[in-house]
Amino acid sequence: MTHSIDTSNSASGLAALSICESLLLALGDLRIISEKDAIDVITDAATAHRSAGETSEHVALHREAAAILDRIIAGGNSVRRSRPVR
């Protein structure tokens, strides 16, 4: 069985992620939030998805969202890093 991709939902998710990343970068560039604050926002979002996955019928979706957010933290996509994260 092949899995069909819902391009409308995928495109909406990608657009939302792009907007959020741009906002975090802009807030950091304007020194409204610190690098740590930006990382904390993403960490909080990942934690929320992990918690939602425990009680939701969409467990796999929430786990994947948390994994994506963890990769963003590790890769620094939404934060202009002044130093490497350890």
User: Is 82 a member of any domain?
Assistant: no
Looking at the structure of the chain, the number of domains it has is 1
Amino acid at 65: A
User: Is 15 a member of any domain?
Assistant: yes
Whole-prediction pTM: 0.76
Amino acid at 29: D
Amino acid at 27: L
Task: Tell me what pLDDT residue 55 has.
Answer: 67
User: Is 18 a member of any domain?
Assistant: yes
Find the domain containing 36 and state its range.
7-75
DSSP state of 31: T
User: Is 2 a member of any domain?
Assistant: no
pLDDT tens, residue by residue, 21-71 = 999 999 999 999 999 999 999 999 999 999 886 666 788 889 999 999 999
Q: b vs e for 19-53, b when ≥16 Cβ sit within 10 Å of the residue's Cβ?
A: eebeebeebbeeeebebeebbebbeebbeebbebb
Cβ within 8 Å of residue 73, ≥6 positions away: 39, 42, 43, 46, 85
